[in-house]
Amino acid sequence: MGVDVLDFVAMRLSGPRPGDLHLQRFSVPFEYPVIFEGGALEPESSALAWAIARREPERRHPFCAVLDEGLLRATPGLDERVRRYAERHADVLELRSDPIRVPGGEAAKGDPALIGALHAAFAKARLDRQAVVLVIGGGAVLDAVGYAASSVHRGLRVVRMPSTVLSQCDGGVGVKTSVNAFSSKNFLGSFAPPYAVVNDRTLLATLPLREARAGMAEAVKVALIRDAAFFEWLSENATALAEARPEPLLSLVRRAALLHLEHIANAGDPFELGSARPLDYGHWSAHRLEIASGHELRHGEAVAIGMLLDARYAERSG
């Protein structure tokens, strides 16, 4: 059962109150589109341009693109495709720099110098708060670039194109950014909802099987906390999913993404002020396992082990 954010704040104010008290209270609605699109970087696809320009279609939108180097290695020419896309949609898009490359995977979250380098690149490109950072990559790159962007002018517009199963069904559609520090996973971070998300299934074609399987753990997690029928479906399709067959994989990504979104919007605690944090099921041990393995364990693999530990613990403790 979720706790409404305002109720949560009010709860903290219970007990004797100071006599001269003004209670400041306001809420800001958040809204971002999550678009499921195949071939979003093909020049003729308008989804990405729409996502960036939708609020002010009459002007050009300055943007920088940041690309995951692991993805780029698997998809040579991706930087050129971003350039061509910007040219084709030059009525609304203005690419302000060459696409910026960042190391893929946990390396992106473990190097403080990278955050500084991104800040410098955004400054050089003269991005203001109405400008956009387009980030294309796995969950780690999305987390690190989102964190850097959230502190420039107190928050640039970030448009995400997640490129892994995990990030398309979980982190990429959510509201959090982070990097690792002081031997602690996600020690630095911010709540920074994206400006838009484009989930492009064609990006998953090059993903190694191990990464695809690991990412499915977050789908199992959200099924366990929110949707028994989805859990049944996952069990029934386990063999095809373990081979990452495109059709069931796409259903998994879509359903898991929508469940995550639904949870964030409607469970009453989008910015995790309370301590329940059901989306972190299996994660307390997962984060420690990731660190202890020197990030040899993928995040999804660690979550799978963490859920097993929690389930066994729950069973044994009755």
Ligand X SMILES: NC(=O)c1ccc[n+]([C@@H]2O[C@H](COP(=O)([O-])OP(=O)(O)OC[C@H]3O[C@@H](n4cnc5c(N)ncnc54)[C@H](O)[C@@H]3O)[C@@H](O)[C@H]2O)c1
* Closer residue to ligand X (CB): 92 or 104: 104
Secondary structure of residue 91 in the 3-state scheme: coil
Alpha-carbon distance 105 to 299, whole Å? 10
Which of 70, 99, 282, 306 touches ligand X (CB under 6 A)? 70
Say whether residue 197 binds ligand X (CB under 6 A): no
Here the tokens at position 318 are: 């009755």
Which of 74, 125, 240, 273 touches ligand X (CB under 6 A)? 74
Say whether residue 184 binds ligand X (CB under 6 A): no
Q: At closest approach, how far in Å is the CB of 228 from ligand X?
A: 22
Question: Quick one: which H or E segment has residue 64?
Answer: strand 61-68
Which of 48, 96, 114, 143 touches ligand X (CB under 6 A)? 143
Alpha-carbon distance 121 to 124, whole Å? 5
Binding to ligand X in span 154-173, by CB under 6 A = 163-164, 166-167, 170-171
Alpha-carbon distance 97 to 63, whole Å? 8
Alpha-carbon distance 23 to 52, whole Å? 36
Say whether residue 285 binds ligand X (CB under 6 A): no
Please report, in angstroms and rounded to a whole number, the separation of the first and last CA atoms in the chain.
20
Q: At closest approach, how far in Å is the CB of 246 from ligand X?
A: 13
164: left (phi over 0), alpha (psi -120 to 50) or beta: beta
Secondary structure of residue 232 in the 3-state scheme: helix
* Closer residue to ligand X (CB): 70 or 248: 70
Residue with tokens 């020419």: 77
Q: At closest approach, how far in Å is the CB of 76 from ligand X?
A: 12
* Closer residue to ligand X (CB): 193 or 215: 215
Here the tokens at position 135 are: 């980030």
Q: At closest approach, how far in Å is the CB of 260 from ligand X?
A: 9
Say whether residue 199 binds ligand X (CB under 6 A): no
Say whether residue 67 binds ligand X (CB under 6 A): no
Say whether residue 206 binds ligand X (CB under 6 A): yes
The stretch among 33-41, 206-214, 237-245, 250-258 that binds ligand X (CB under 6 A) is 206-214
Say whether residue 194 binds ligand X (CB under 6 A): no
The stretch among 16-24, 103-111, 116-124, 245-253 that binds ligand X (CB under 6 A) is 103-111
Here the tokens at position 89 are: 């949609």
Contact, 241 vs 208, CB < 8 A? no
Alpha-carbon distance 34 to 173, whole Å? 7
* Crossing angle (nearest 10°) for helices 299-316 and 209-226: 40
Say whether residue 301 binds ligand X (CB under 6 A): no
Q: At closest approach, how far in Å is the CB of 78 from ligand X?
A: 10
| Listed residue (184, 97, 99, 185) closest to 137, CA to CA | 99
Binding track, positions 47-66, relative to ligand X; x by CB under 6 A? --------------------
Which of 51, 102, 115, 137 touches ligand X (CB under 6 A)? 137
| Listed residue (178, 204, 211) closest to 280, CA to CA | 178
Enumerate binding residues for ligand X (CB under 6 A).
Answer: 68, 70-71, 74, 104-106, 109, 137-141, 143, 163-164, 166-167, 170-171, 174, 176, 203-204, 206-207, 211, 215, 299-300
